[in-house]
Each structure stands twice: as C-alpha cells, then as structure tokens.
C-alpha cells in the first residue's frame, strides 16, 4: 500500500513538473514588466465611469472636498475630446478645430463653469491613470478642487489597445470662467 502511494505521489510530481512554471512577464528595457493591453467593451462604460467616480470621491472625501456627481453633458464633452486626441495622435487640451475645454463643454450644453481637465494617453486602466494624475501636482489640484461638483469622464480606445482618457470637472450654476491650470 505504501509503495503504491509513493508511486502515485511520484507520478503526480512528475506530471506537475511537465506543466512548467507559470509564464514570466515580458520585461521592457527598464527591467519593469511591459503593460498588458486593457480592453474595454462597450458594455463596460457605466461600470468604468462609476468606478472612477467612486475612486475620486474617496480621494476628495479624504481631502475634505465635497463629492462629485456624473454629468451627461460633461461625459459627452470628454468623449468627444478623447476621440479627437486619438485623431490628432497627441494628448493635449485643444481640439483639432482649435476648441478649448471651455468651448467643448459649452457645445455639449453644459452651462456651468469649467474647473479643469485631465488627459492621458496610455494602455493603463482608469484607476492606474487616476493614480498617475494624483501623483502630478497640477492634475491632483484639479481633481481635489473643492469648487468642483460635477464630473465628466470618458475615453477612446484604438484598435491597438491605446486608450485616450479625458476627465472634465465642472461647477454647475456658475457662469464664466475662473482661470485655472488645465493640466495634462
């Protein structure tokens, strides 16, 4: 009986060795793992927008700033600019038609004030992108600005997996524009 148990154990060990080690991540020239492509399906939109909203509101709560709400008009402005950045193949705050973030939110029907905008060109998830924005003082300032009350968040993903993220914060019922740093 002991001999058959030993043989069974040895056979199992031999088979597990045949399975090989788990695949190792591909490393870049800097020795860090290369990013995996984060694919976004059309059905993920609401889940991703609310996950970003919840994450930002947690950061804002910790800093004493009021919570934000998603705004459909700001979402539309963010989606338009994310696609336009892809067309231009550069992350920047101006549209291919010369439009500014202020012009884009007005075109989308938003009557409040622009607080700021954050943009990104990456293969990373929305939460990894938020982490990068929070590490940069200028985008952190926009995200935690206590005058902001509404959020627009969208993206455009290219076939190769590259994602163009756009976050727009607004203050409803405030007209005009108070000069703010519109970080990238």
pLDDT digits (tens, 9 = 90+) for 23-79: 556 777 888 777 677 777 888 888 999 999 999 999 999 999 999 999 999 999 999
Q: Is the pTM of this model over 0.85?
A: no
Tell how far CA 5 is from the center of its chain.
53
Q: Is 128 exposed, middle or buried (0-12, 13-18, 19+ CB in 10 A)?
A: middle
Other CB atoms within 10 Å distance of the CB of residue 53? 16
Which residues lie below 8 Å from residue 26, measured CB to CB, with a gap of 6+?
Answer: 33, 34
For Cα atoms 154, 69, 114, give the angle at the middle one, nearest 5 degrees: 70
Angle at 76 between CA 110 and CA 155, to 5 degrees: 140
């Amino acid at each position: 009986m002991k001999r058959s148990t030993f043989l069974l154990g040895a056979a199992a060990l031999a088979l597990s060795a045949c399975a090989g080690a788990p695949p190792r991540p591909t490393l870049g020239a800097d020795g860090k793992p290369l990013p995996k492509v984060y694919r976004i399906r059309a059905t993920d939109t609401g889940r991703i927008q609310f996950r970003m909203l919840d994450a930002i509101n947690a950061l804002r709560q910790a800093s004493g700033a009021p919570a934000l709400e998603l705004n459909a008009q700001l979402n539309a402005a963010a989606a338009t600019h994310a696609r336009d950045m892809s067309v231009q193949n550069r992350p920047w705050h101006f549209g291919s038609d010369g439009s500014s973030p202020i012009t884009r939110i007005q075109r989308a029907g938003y009557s409040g004030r622009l607080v700021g905008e954050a943009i990104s060109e990456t293969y990373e998830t929305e939460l990894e992108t938020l982490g990068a924005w929070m590490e940069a003082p200028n985008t952190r300032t926009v995200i935690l600005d206590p005058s902001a009350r509404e959020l627009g968040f969208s993206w455009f993903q290219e076939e190769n997996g590259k994602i163009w993220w756009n976050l727009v914060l607004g203050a409803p019922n405030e007209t005009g524009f108070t000069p703010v740093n519109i970080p990238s």
